[in-house]
Structure 1
């Protein structure tokens, strides 16, 4: 006969807890996804609402509103602006307007960083974020994901340090900047999109390509 003790059957409270937790794992992600989509829809729908109201007002419609019309108009505006910005003439006009904006002292301090961050997030490798790295921070033995943003020269003309953007979870549009010597960084095989997915999920969605460095690793 086996010496193994008999396995205890779960109590009703344990079964109830297990069932509820299983339900939460299904409902909560669906609810949060729906909430985010609704927030984006309402924002896009309300973004163009004043424009629609001004167009409809001369025709006697003081409070004209069709749900979804503002969303469609916002989508069209984004598409038109994007199409203009990607052709030769539109790109030249946008460059001229951008230089004017960046020439205004107060506007420049707000607009330029936001513009660079958005370009880095939407076009990785083109406007700033070159690769995903691991930085040993905030203490030895603890690793943080960061985006390699640029190089910082040294006074002794040695190998330059790197400026690293460390986003906060689950909102990668906020974070902080570190200036780190290259020997304190470790490269990864992650794409920027994979790193952003992990950050937005607060570390739940761990990419298969991510691995913590061993004692001796390749330097940046």
Structure 2
């Protein structure tokens, strides 16, 4: 027996009636596969509900079966699909490249579009994104470039090197903003190939107490 459709349904009742998760309903609504509410207080009439119910198979196919998710869950999803490790840094890099759209945010962290994740097939691009998008601390950046941490501080100050984000130190209080700068490995590679930096000369002054050649760089212009 066909279930009797109520005279109208709200935003919580509608997906429950259809038997689909709320995220899939909201995505279908956002993409235009479900019409906007045609009744007051964000409710849908019986006519619209019946129309959507009759087209449900096509709607769910168009909206996909993977919800939007953060970088860690997205990395785990792609790792399982490709049967090779894909890191959260790789997911973030694919987002910066535009290969994965950012659908929303949660507690200031990006949520990557589940439909893009479901359709993403380029394993080689994901692994390369993991290499370029690897995020390193100031200490790790100095080791990779063969310079001192003070050199990295001056490059940061002068705008030659910009953190991709900041992480929270274990010594920070919970109420404090993340203060540890993290740098993208791809940006370090670009920095290594700048014609206006004599890396040999910089490394030659790396002894204790010797002034960094980068100390003379002017501060980056403030926006």
TM-score after normalising by structure 1: 0.20
TM-score after normalising by structure 2: 0.20
Q: Which has the higher contact order (CA 8 A, sep 6+)?
A: 2
